[in-house]
Copies of this chain bind each other. A is one copy, B any other.
């Protein structure tokens, strides 16, 4: 009998109910940019992150001692918020020991939809740490791509392909999931240059039009790596 565990890839936050089983470990991915921001904020000393669904909920934390608030909609920062959804907002910023309240277009929704599972978040910044943790744990895995407003995006499946390849190469996992197969094909097609490969993707064009290409480069090929694995405990992401 095979004791291999199973890996699946879900392409959008909205489709998670089709995959949910209450038992698998869920790896939430929003490479451009929420889960990259989450990795960065923890590296810079944030104590906890509260992902929330709407702007009002985030604003209710404004001015509270020890909290900072950040928001993004349609890739843009929102007036009235301390921070946006760029990793650069958090680097060398006054965030040590603070709790970050974050709401974004897609990533925070994916976290919310998976909240009845064990949820960790992944980006290219902490991919190796996440892979090692999953290999040690050896549970069934759902890689949950955030997508863009309910539709498929390219960057999250490519990341899913990168992570799945690390896991499958161990021989401890199996997959019979067409979206995982497609994710690995796309990752292989990117040929080690995801930034270039994504030049045709809708979200890279969106960030380019907003002069956010530095964010894209940072998230796809981060200059630093982190060993921090953010895990959802109740309503907060904390360091595992």
Chain A residues at the B interface, C-beta cutoff of 8 Å: 10-12, 14-15, 18-19, 148-154, 157, 176-179, 181-182, 185-186, 189, 200-203, 205
Q: CA separation between A182 and B152, bound complex, in Å? A: 9
Measured between C-beta atoms, what is the minimum distance from A9 to chain B in Å?
A: 8
How far, in angstroms, from A150 to B182 measured CA to CA in the complex?
Answer: 16
- Expressed in whole angstroms, the Cα–Cα distance for A176 and B178 within the complex equals 23
* Inter-subunit contact A179/B152 (CB<8 Å): yes
This chain: how many copies in the complex?
Answer: 2
The CA-CA distance from A152 to B178 in the complex, in Å, is 7
Q: Please give the distance in Å from A63's CB to the nearest CB on chain B.
A: 37
User: Most chain-B CB neighbours within 10 Å: which of A10, A11, A12?
Assistant: A11
Compute how far the CA of A211 lies from the CA of B170 in the bound complex, rounded to whole angstroms: 32
B181 adjacent to A18 (CB under 8 Å): no
8 residue pairs from A and B, CB less than 8 Å apart = A11-B152, A18-B151, A148-B178, A151-B179, A181-B200, A181-B201, A182-B182, A182-B186
